[in-house]
Structure 1
Amino acid sequence: MDFEQLAKQYKGELLDNVLPFWLDFSQDKEYGGYFTCLERDGRVFDTDKFIWLQGREVWMVAMLYNKVEKRKEWLDCAVQGGEFLKKYGHDGDYNWYFALDRQGRPLVEPYNIFSYTFATMAFGQLSLATGDAGYAEIARKTFDKIQTKLDNPKGKWNKAYPGTRNLKNFALPMILCNLALEIEHLLGEDYLKKCMEVCIHEVMDVFYRPELGIVVENVTVEGELSDTFEGRSVNPGHAIEAMWFIMDLGVRLKRPELVEKAKDIALKMVKYGWDEKYDGIFYFMDRLGHPQQQLEWDQKLWWVHIETMISMLKGYQLTGSEECLEWFKRVHDYVWTHFKDPECPEWFGYLNRRGEVLLSLKGGKWKGCFHVPRGLYQCWQVLEKLK
């Protein structure tokens, strides 16, 4: 495998195609923040602004400014998005709304904890890019809010009736694994270590089930399996993405055994989720093989495959696993022939089971300036080390 050529491919796609797409089409020059609902060619088709996607774009552009090149247009893009979030994104007490209209008026109350996590990431990176202590303070205060919500992430907006079926979801401990490293510069060493250990325990000892060989999406608050729609749900992409977060933590903590275990689980999950008939990775599965409640269960989504490429590459780089390299090649081939748009920049997000484009959009309510550019950046960085 020509790692040097691949590194050029991923770097070029990021810096020449994908990032310019977002810089050119997503910035709202009139009201601030970003448009995320973008047609195939970049035309805006809806002007609502979703806080977690606003935060993701601030983080993405600020991170590239911090780690790749000090380009003024990148910093300007990140700062204007950060200022919009600072002014309109929360209720004054760092409870972050889910959605705003174009002008910044709240549309959806602060029920979604991922608005908080991506605001924390955004202002953490922005504080590094600008040296602005005010941004660091927003990140710290928001992170403190997250800590108070861990037992009930949706708070008073939780639709579940209390006490009957108390389940906890994999997405939060998974994202906190990444968030802890993201704001490492804002946390004390002891607190950071404690945070990391709690996240690792939740992901690797609670949601990963050695008796099944897979990671499940929901368990009871006691950490037991639940034979319900939610309890049987498996999201291979979530699990595989979490494993590269765990690999990063294993490197940070100098725990090679943790890296090895994460690599093994990532391999189990890609094999488990792979569609042998049409290729690609299923979005949702039922661990007992029952029909699923998610009607989109068999769709092939951009982020699932991009995160898998990152995990497989890191698994190969850190452990030398040839099996990881083979899977990277397989998923790389699928991604570049199915998700990359041959005519316009940025990538398609939603394919049907057969790999045909379902939606031609490049951004929407759930897809923004995040998984594609972050994945290209991560793969490029690993490939540079493998050259």
Structure 2
Amino acid sequence: MEREKLQAWRDWVRAELGSCVSFWLEHGMDKEHGGVYTCLTRDGKVFSTDKSVWMQGRCAWTFSYLCRVYGKKQEWLDAAKSCLDFLEEHCINRTAGDRLYFTVTADGKPLRQRRYCFSEGFYAIGNAEYYGQTGEREHLERARKAYQLVYDLNHGMPDPTGMGPKTIAETRTGRALADPMIFLNMTGVMRRVDPEQAALYDRYAAECVHDIFAYHHKPEMKCTLESVGVNGEFQGDFTAGRVVNPGHDIECSWFLMEEANRTGDAALHKKAEDVFNFAIEAGWDKEYGGLLYFIDCKGLPPEAYEHDMKLWWPHNEILIASLMAYRDTKDEKYLEWFFKTAEYCKTCFADDVCGEWYGYLRRDGKPTEPPCKGSTFKGPFHVPRSLIMADVLLGDILEG
């Protein structure tokens, strides 16, 4: 272990976290309508006033989690509460089983509803984390209700919006990795703040772990697939069945490592390491550095136009997963992945002039033009979460 090098990176992580948090508090918070704007230019100007519902819940979680790790600050609690109030007042489709919208206008008029239930998931963890800091029971009850709704929707409940599946079910149906992996992370948040229902969360977490490895993880193919058949069948005759999202897999790996650490399951931890190793070895761009967004498990052309771009969040997940794996195993290869990825992030994503990180890079590591710091999908979540967790993990390693 290189203590001085690790301490230097910890200092950098803390400085970047401060820059990131300040950027969003200064430029993102909507003082007129409440909530957060996330479509921001490099220097923080709003380029679209439409609001991402995902980001209202994620922002609430982030600022509440900052309070949990670093101590309560009224500015952070106020930011979280603003997003939660905006969600409650404007983002819930009360006529459709309390499903949440995907996007709304600046003042909260509904724009778009989507099939998948990630808006509900981020609403749940935002309310749960805020409850953990304030003890305000109404937020726990909201979190519990939304959490159970996500579970039910993922397990056969008819969608109250009336929206059917993306494909005609009689022709093709299957499973998506995002469902069990995101629910596993949600479950970890819920268990931490709501020990009253620990038995329920333990049961649901075990189901998530089962589904990931029974259906999506393919050790014989050295990958974890985004989409599979209902029984985990490899659907290799069409592009969607061959998609690997290395960043998703790496994010999934640390969700699994956390669960393995909680349960003391060394075998699960080893399988989680395999998920990480397969993804980063296949997805790391050996010519330009950085992690490719999508790859085809058979080496065939990916369908997504953006497949060879470098996005911010997969690199955030590498920082977390590599440090967690190194802390838990002391295997130096994980530390080397952290150093390599941190250097790439410092060189390509971080912006010493305006603060925060670029969201989207071309394959060669240069920001797309004009560059942005936020979008419908990028807000105050992945970057600050990774920096908070990297700070804590580096502390564990240095003190261990």
Q: TM-score range by the shorter chain?
A: over 0.9
Give the equivalent residue in structure 2 for 1:219: 228
| Structure 2 residue 143 is matched with structure 1 residue 132 | no
Give the equivalent residue in structure 2 for 1:361: 372
Counterpart residue identity of residue 164, structure 1: T
Give the equivalent residue in structure 2 for 1:159: 166
Provide the TM-score with structure 1 as the length reference.
0.97
Detail structure 1 runs of 4+ shifted over 6 Å in the superposition. none
CA distance in 2, matches of 1:372, 1:256: 29
Change (3 A) 1:52 1:43: same
CA offset digits 1:205-224 (Å, max 9, x no partner): 32110110111110001111
Give the equivalent residue in structure 2 for 1:109: 113
Please list, as runs of the form range in 1=range in 2, the aligned pairs for 1:1-387 lying within 5 A after superposition. Answer: 1=2, 2-15=5-18, 17-92=19-94, 93-151=97-155, 155=159, 156-157=162-163, 158-184=165-191, 185-186=193-194, 188-227=197-236, 228-359=238-369, 360-387=371-398
- Partner SS state of residue 301, structure 2: coil
CA distance in 1, matches of 2:158, 2:387: 32
CA distance in 2, matches of 1:72, 1:139: 22
Quick check: 1:174–1:199 contact (8 Å CA) kept in 2? yes
Shift of 1:153: 8.7
Change (3 A) 1:331 1:352: same
Shift of 1:264: 2.9
Aligned residues: 386
Shift of 1:152: 5.6
Q: Superposition RMSD on alpha carbons, in Å? A: 1.4
- Partner SS state of residue 33, structure 1: coil
Change (3 A) 1:32 1:237: same
Provide the TM-score with structure 2 as the length reference.
0.94
Task: Report percent identity of matched pairs.
Answer: 34
CA distance in 2, matches of 1:110, 1:281: 28
Shift of 1:154: 9.2
Quick check: 1:40–1:362 contact (8 Å CA) kept in 2? yes
Counterpart residue identity of residue 10, structure 1: V
CA distance in 1, matches of 2:112, 2:197: 34
Shift of 1:110: 4.8
CA distance in 1, matches of 2:231, 2:374: 38
CA distance in 1, matches of 2:233, 2:314: 26
Quick check: 2:40–2:373 contact (8 Å CA) kept in 1? yes
Quick check: 1:58–1:82 contact (8 Å CA) kept in 2? yes
CA distance in 2, matches of 1:76, 1:154: 36
Quick check: 1:275–1:281 contact (8 Å CA) kept in 2? yes
CA offset digits 1:50-101 (Å, max 9, x no partner): 1111110011001111221211111111111111111111023421111110
Counterpart residue identity of residue 276, structure 1: K
Quick check: 1:236–1:269 contact (8 Å CA) kept in 2? yes
Quick check: 2:214–2:232 contact (8 Å CA) kept in 1? no
CA distance in 2, matches of 1:239, 1:327: 15
Shift of 1:204: 2.5
Quick check: 1:95–1:110 contact (8 Å CA) kept in 2? no
- Partner SS state of residue 225, structure 1: coil
Counterpart residue identity of residue 56, structure 1: R
CA distance in 1, matches of 2:332, 2:271: 15
- Partner SS state of residue 32, structure 2: coil
Counterpart residue identity of residue 377, structure 2: W
CA offset digits 1:104-145 (Å, max 9, x no partner): 111112533110110111110111122111111110111111
CA distance in 2, matches of 1:190, 1:375: 28
CA distance in 1, matches of 2:93, 2:109: 11
- Partner SS state of residue 357, structure 1: coil
CA distance in 2, matches of 1:280, 1:244: 19
CA distance in 2, matches of 1:145, 1:369: 25
CA distance in 2, matches of 1:134, 1:142: 12
Runs of 5+ unmatched residues, structure 1: none
CA distance in 1, matches of 2:158, 2:251: 23
Quick check: 1:260–1:319 contact (8 Å CA) kept in 2? no
CA distance in 1, matches of 2:68, 2:391: 16
Shift of 1:257: 2.3
